[in-house]
Chain A
Amino acid sequence: DAKTTQPPSMDCAEGRAANLPCNHSTISGNEYVYWYRQIHSQGPQYIIHGLKNNETNEMASLIITEDRKSSTLILPHATLRDTAVYYCIVRVAGTDKLIFGTGTRLQVFP
């Protein structure tokens, strides 16, 4: 199963873009990259996912490198409510098995 590597923590000023990196060098060609976040005492919240192309939705943008060995989640205008643990996940092909790491704890400050 492909593993991901993320920095344990990051800070971001409110209103600025938060760029969260992730390495997934062992990803297979048919495995998707997913991003979730978890606020204390709640279940993980889906943010965005992609296979090889960059993706954007109302919450965030996902930039995947051409070799697919790394990706970056971008929150364009971080707010205090974006403070959470962010998980970068490679989804095992054909299953609902998500391999979570320890994630990045993002702290947004005023």
Chain B
Amino acid sequence: DAGVTQSPTHLIKTRGQQVTLRCSPKSGHDTVSWYQQALGQGPQFIFQYYEEEERQRGNFPDRFSGHQFPNYSSELNVNALLLGDSALYLCASSLLQGENSPLHFGNGTRLTVT
């Protein structure tokens, strides 16, 4: 049973560029959410996708956008990269059953902006 998989594992970009990160949810899951984890901090919620629509959004600017595909996989796009966007980006998936369905996390994509 494959867990949440993310690609790539590491990425280096230059300030001002755009980046796309990818996520495949755990088998059987239909909801994907994205988190940003800066060094030494806990993860921060970016947004959640269900049925190919953004359902909930955290306190992140419009430079952060996403997409969910019919097979439930998801992409996170970040435009006009800033040095402060350097972080571990985590994808989590769940089955939309409310609070009783745990989120399962991937191991993340480490993004470095230079």
The contact of A97 among B42, B45, B105, B106, by CB within 8 Å, is B45
- The one of B4, B43, B56, B104 in contact with A95, judged by C-beta atoms closer than 8 angstroms, is B56
Q: Which of B45, B58, B102, B106 contacts A46 (CB 8 A)?
A: B102
A98 touching B43 in the complex, CB below 8 Å, given contacts A43-B108, A45-B105, A46-B102: yes
Q: Count A-B pairs with CB separation below 8 Å.
A: 62
Interface size on B, residues (CB 8 A): 26
In the complex, A101→B40 CA distance in Å? 11
Any A CB within 8 A of the CB of B68: no
Judged by a CB distance under 8 angstroms, whether A17 is at the interface is no
Q: Are B45 and A49 in contact (CB under 8 A)?
A: no
- With A43-B4, A43-B108 in contact, is A97–B99 under 8 Å at CB? no
Bound CA–CA A103/B35 (angstroms): 16
Binding site for B on A (CB under 8 A): 30-32, 34, 36, 41-46, 49, 51, 87, 91, 93-103
